[in-house]
Amino acid sequence: MPSPDNPAPAAERGHALHKKASQLIPGGVNSATRNIGYPAAFSHARGSTITDLDGREFVDYHCAFGATLLGHNDERVNAAVAETLGTIDLVGLGITDLEVQAAQLVHDLIPSVEMSITTMSGTESTFQAVRLARAATGRKYVLKFQGCFHGWHDAVARNVASSAESAWGHDPLSAGILDDALEATLIAEFNDLGSVEEAFERHAGQIAAIILEPVPHNVGAVLPTDEFLRGLRELCTKTGTVLIFDEVITGFRHAAGGYQELCGVTPDLTAYGKAMGNGFPVAGMGGRRDLMEQFSSAGGDVLLAGTYNGNPASMAAAVATMTAINDPEVGFHDHVYRLGERMRFGLAQIMKNHDVPAVVTGIGSVFVTYFLSGTVSGYRDLLRNNDVAYAEFHRRMIDQGFMMYPMTLKRNHITLAHTADQIDQTLAATDGVISSMVRDGVFDRPVHRVADRAQSLPPR
C-alpha cells in the first residue's frame, strides 16, 4: 500500500468514472477480475505502457491477462485491421480470404491442427472442444486438473484457485451451475499421473476427454514434467480418450506452435486464443481431421454456430499477429525469452539477498514469484504460498508504477514492446518493495493464506 514517503497520486477522475459505471454496470466493470480498486479506469495504452484516467503511466506486465504479445496498439496489427475495415465488414455468409489465411497459419504453426474453427474467446474454444470430445466418444466424463482454468462454461467451471478445504472436492466457480454438470467433470492433481490413472480405473470406459493447460498459468506457472505429459498422451491413446490442450495462454506466447511444439506431445484437440490477435477478440480450436469433420458445417452432428466467428477485423488481427511472431526478423520469441530470463534471474537474486522464502519461476515471457519454500510441481505445493504477501507485493509494485495484477497466483507477462531498461527499472523497484515488506513484517505475520481463494473469481 502507499506509504507516507510514497503516497499514491490522486485518482479523482478514475474513481468518479467508476462510480458512474457502478450505476450502469454491475460492480462498475464488465468482468469481475477488472475491479482492482486503484487504478480504477484507463485512458491510453501504447507499447509496453498503460495510462490511467488521472494521467499516471504504468509499465504493463498484466497485458490484459496475457492477450497482448507484441505490445499495445501494435502498428502492424492496427494497420491490417484498418485496411480490412475499409474493404469488408461482417457479412455472415460464405468465407473470406482472411479466414483461409488464418486457418492456414494455424495449420502450419500448431503441430496438432489438421483442421480448425474460429471463435471469439477461449471459453468458446474449450466449450467446443469438450462438446466435440463427448460427441465423438459417446462418453460422459471429462477430467481436468486442480488449478487449471478453461473458461466459464458449466462443464469446466470448477476447482481453480481453491482453498485447502475445497481443493479436489466440490468447488464450483459460480452459483447457478447444475450439480449434474459439475459432477460430470473429474478432478486430478497436475504432474501426478497416478491420480489420473485412479480416475480412469474408477470410470473405466467412461472418460471422453482430458483437458489441461500444459502449463497451468491461471495459478502462476506450474511447469509440467515430460513424463507427465507423455503419460497422459499414452493413456489417452490406449483408452480412446481425447486429449485436449488448452493453449489459450501458452499458445503463440511460448512458441509459435504453442507449448506442444516445445514438449513434443501432440494432443488430439487444441484450444487457443487470447494473444492470437494481440488484444483483438479472436480465438479458435483445431485438431485431428476426423474429429473436426464431425461439426455440422461439414455434415456432422456437432453444432457449429456463431455470427462473429471469423469476422474480418478479428481475422486481420490474427493474421498480422501470427505472421509477426513467426518472422525471424521480428525476433519475438528471442526477445521475450531473453528479457524473461533477465527478469527471473534478477528476482531470484533479490529474494535471496533479502532472505525471503520464494520460488521464482516461469517460462519465456512469463514470470512468477511464489512466496514459499521448497519446490512447486502441483497445486498441493501452492497451498503453502503466502497469498497475502503475493498480493501485497503486486499491489506495492503498482504503487511504484509497474502494473502487476494484485491477486494471489496471478502471472506477469513481457511483450515485444518491453525493453531491457524497463526490466532493470522493475528489478530496482522490486528491491525497494521487498525491502519495505521485510521492514513492515509482511513475511512474519502468522496468517499467510487467503481464507478462501475461491472468493475471488478466477479468470482469464
- 228: CATH: 3.40.640.10
Q: Are 364 and 254 in contact (CB under 8 A)?
A: yes
> Residue 440 and residue 443: Cα distance in Å, rounded?
8
Which ranges constitute the DSSP H helices of 86-155? 97-109, 122-137
Same domain, 33 and 122: no
Q: Are residues 344 and 285 in the same domain?
A: no
Q: What is the pLDDT, as a whole number, of residue 459?
A: 39
Last residue of a domain, one of 294, 325, 356: 325
- The pLDDT of residue 452 is 54
Peptide bond just before 39 cis, omega within 30 deg: yes
2 lies in some domain: no
Question: Are 305 and 160 contained in the same domain?
Answer: yes
Predicted structure pTM score: 0.94
What DSSP element (H or E) covers 114?
Answer: none
Whether residues 137 and 274 fall in one domain? yes
Give dist(CA 448, CA 426) in Å, integer.
25
- The count of structural domains within the chain is 2
Question: Which alpha helices (H) appear in 310-401, and where do they start and end?
Answer: 312-325, 332-353, 379-382, 387-399
Determine the residue type at 328.
P
- In a domain? residue 244: yes
pLDDT at 446: 65
Output the domain CATH number for residue 17. 3.90.1150.10
Domain range enclosing 310: 75-325
Shared domain for 283 and 261, answered yes or no, is yes
Is the domain of 118 the same as that of 204?
yes
Residue 5 inside a domain? The answer is no
Query: In whole angstroms, what separates CA 365 from the centre of its chain?
Result: 12
Report the C-alpha gap between 176 and 403 in whole angstroms: 33
C-alpha cell of residue 392 = 501485497
User: Do 159 and 90 lie in a common domain?
Assistant: yes
Per-residue pLDDT of the chain (460 residues; tens, 9 = 90+): 344 344 455 679 989 999 999 999 999 999 999 999 889 999 999 999 999 999 999 999 999 999 999 999 999 999 999 999 999 999 999 999 999 999 999 999 999 999 999 999 999 999 999 999 999 999 999 999 999 999 999 999 999 999 999 999 999 999 999 999 999 999 999 999 999 999 999 999 999 999 999 999 999 999 999 999 999 999 999 999 999 999 999 999 999 999 999 999 999 999 999 899 999 999 999 999 999 999 999 999 999 999 999 999 999 999 999 999 999 999 999 999 999 999 999 999 999 999 999 999 999 999 999 999 999 999 999 999 999 999 999 999 999 999 999 999 999 999 999 999 999 999 999 999 999 999 999 998 765 555 455 444 333 4
pLDDT for 449 equals 57
Q: How far apart are CA 451 and CA 163, in angstroms?
A: 7
Q: What angle do CA 60, 64, 66 make, to 5 degrees?
A: 90
Residue 122 sits in the same domain as residue 265: yes
Residue 447: what pLDDT? 54
